[in-house]
Chain A
Amino acid sequence: MKYQTPEDVTWKNLKSGIVLLNLSSGEYYTLNDTAADIWRHAVEGEGREAIVRFLSETYKDVPAEDLTLHVEESMEYFLSEKLLVASAE
């Protein structure tokens, strides 16, 4: 499954980190480094498996199960907060 940002969510890569904003609720979000990597790939339209593969290449010393769990948790959080929605495609 692929994902996209709803119309009322915007994000910006600022010099010290990524900030997400829900324009409807006025809530701001910041991401840690790993979550920022997950976010960038998710908004580019990549699915969870592809994101885990990318993270495995970047974070070689982290067990694959941990990365999978981190991707799952982050994606569920993005979805629950309506920062991402499933893409129609």
Chain B
Amino acid sequence: MTPTSDNGLSLREKAAILSETLTAIMTAARFRVFDGKGTPPLPEVAEDIPFDSSRAELTADFVSGVTRLVVIWKRRICFYRSYAIVCVLRARGAPVALNFGYRWEGPAGGMAHCWMTLEGKLFRENQETGRIYTSLLGERGSAVRFWADPDNIPANGEKTVKKEIAQ
């Protein structure tokens, strides 16, 4: 019999998820530091593993807890948490997608946010996000989507083109 912990994941599962979460966080951090932009690669959805929504929630809870402990700098925590959960869950058959959104707030810039969707629906995310980032700008495969808040786009800034990094 495999020993289980209080949240329903076995210790063996937890150890594997912990390792994968740390790898994902390091990959994301290395990508941010050395590449400066873009999105690190995401694993394909493991199609040979049946998707179990309750297991996905348990797994995401555990990954989220690890991320909170490890990502102590808090900046872009939404990106690190979402990226780690998406990596771990896709490897377990869950078709989770990573979403980036940008909201312009004034001439100085705006706010970027990162969240997850599962089969097109918000996953572990405040419903408000779906009301803010309503314009889908583009998709990269089935794994990454880019959104924008269509309101308040600065159209008369001093610069001809204003560039924002979505992370």
Contact = CB atoms under 8 A, between A and B. Distances in A.
Q: How large is the interface on B (under 10, 10 to 19, 20 to 34, 35 or more residues)?
A: 20 to 34
B160 A25 contact: no
Nearest to A70: B160
Nearest to A35: B160
A70 B159 CA distance: 11
Q: Which one of B102, B138, B160, B165 has the highest number of Cβ atoms from chain A below 10 Å of its Cβ?
A: B160
Contacts of B167: 26
Q: How large is the interface on A (under 10, 10 to 19, 20 to 34, 35 or more residues)?
A: 20 to 34
Interface in B53-89: none
A17 B163 CA distance: 14
B82 to A, nearest CB: 13
Interface string A1-26: 00000000011101111110101111
Given A26-B37, A26-B100, A26-B166, A19 B153 contact: yes
A77 B140 CA distance: 24
Contacts, number: 95
A27 interface: yes
A32 B166 contact: no
Contacts of B163: 27-29, 81
Interface string B88-112: 0000000000001010100000000
Interface in B103-147: 104, 135, 137-140, 144, 146
Contact of B153 (A16, A26, A78): A16
Given A16-B152, A33-B155, A27 B37 contact: yes
Interface of B: 37-39, 100, 102, 104, 135, 137-140, 144, 146, 148, 150-157, 159-167
Interface of A: 10-12, 14-19, 21, 23-36, 70, 73-74, 77-78, 81
